[in-house]
A and B are shown apart, each in its own frame.
Chain A
């Protein structure tokens, strides 16, 4: 699920996540983009929207997680660091879904 900059959107793309402003949903998930909708999105103060499809990460997932382990290796037993690492790990894994 890549995040696509607003100037790279094309008609026919599907929103993988809703477009929101504050708590208001402006466009719901699974909306198929049209020229008109793209123009509307480009007028909003946002820099990109999530589109269905595979995302492109610069390194493979295994390598990203191995690097995460190395970054945290000195501090895993310190207060809150395990929780933080768990959250970052989930976040990184989410980028590869």
Chain B
């Protein structure tokens, strides 16, 4: 157990920019996204000024799976098409990609797979904001990255313990760190002024029945997370499938045929994630 109360932990998480291990791109990005007055045009310009970031964002939004009608050739075009919330989510996602790779092998595949699966389920359910659900899927486990960065040794111990005790990492994080990755991720999302729905998905993706403002979106990411793990795609801290929340699953009203088709579509996405290894 770390020697810290929940308030101090939250302060530490919110001051993530002071961590030496945080990449400079993320520092610059968090400045941008914390500024409520920033315009879409300025976000577009910020991305365009960073060739590496531009390449990553364009690669992501131009993958066949992402399904845009035409090719997106510039950062400003992508920004306008996707809107500020989605582009801010993608920016955080691609800038922590390297961290994800180093800190936990397979977490990027898990996150991206979850993003793609969430998006296709959102489309299937007729949601209009499916790109927002994509961003939520991409960032749902961001709290894990923060925990690993802040407490590398302790998190490794927790992962070992989860494996030994046959439980998921989420079930024991609270015993080790006062809060779990869902809480921690949502603190950061709040600090970054992400939209209410995105914050809720991150906070409740393991307790989807508690979501008030985004029950469908949260249920979608909850199920996508489980499907990815069920299928053995990527790695998210432990080798086990968490139990489905029955109420959340019922909200989605998915038949066995729906699920079969979703599994097929996920298989397609696997190739995309290989292609997208940024």
Say whether A and B bind each other.
yes
The answer to whether B263 touches A78 (Cβ under 8 A) is no
- B231 contacts chain A at the CB level, 8 A cutoff: yes
Query: 8 Å CB contacts to B: which residues of A43-97?
Result: 45-48, 64, 67-68, 70-75, 78-81, 83-85, 87-88, 90-92, 95
Q: Please determine whether B264 and A91 come into contact, CB atoms closer than 8 angstroms.
A: yes
Nearest to B250 among chain A residues (CB) is A80
Write the nearest CB–CB distance from B78 to chain A, whole angstroms. 17
CA distance A79 to B245 in the complex (A): 8
Q: Identify 8 new A-B residue pairs, CB closer than 8 A, beyond the known A45-B69, A84-B259.
A: A45-B67, A48-B268, A71-B239, A79-B249, A81-B241, A83-B256, A87-B260, A91-B263
Interchain CB contact under 8 A, B244 and A84: yes
In the bound complex, residues from chain B placing their C-beta under 8 Å from that of A92 are 231
Chain A residues in the interface with B (C-beta under 8 A): 3, 5, 45-48, 64, 67-68, 70-75, 78-81, 83-85, 87-88, 90-92, 95
Q: Can you report 18 residue pairs joining A to B where beta carbons are below 8 Å apart?
A: A47-B63, A47-B271, A64-B232, A68-B230, A68-B232, A71-B232, A71-B241, A74-B166, A75-B240, A75-B242, A79-B246, A80-B244, A83-B256, A84-B226, A87-B259, A91-B231, A91-B264, A95-B267
B222 close to chain A: CB less than 8 A: no
CB distance from B228 to the nearest CB of A (A): 11
> Is the pair A80, B249 in contact by a Cβ cutoff of 8 Å?
yes
| A-B CB proximity, top 7 nearest | A78-B243, A47-B64, A79-B246, A91-B263, A75-B243, A88-B230, A71-B241
The contact string, 1 if C-beta is below 8 Å from chain A, for chain B 225-269, is 011011110000001111110100100000010011001100110
Q: How many A-B residue pairs have CB under 8 A?
A: 76
Question: Which of B242, B243, B259 has most A Cβ within 10 Å?
Answer: B243
- Chain B interface residue bracket vs A: 20 to 34
Residues of A within 8 A of B256 (CB): 83, 87
Complex Cα gap A67–B64 (Å): 31
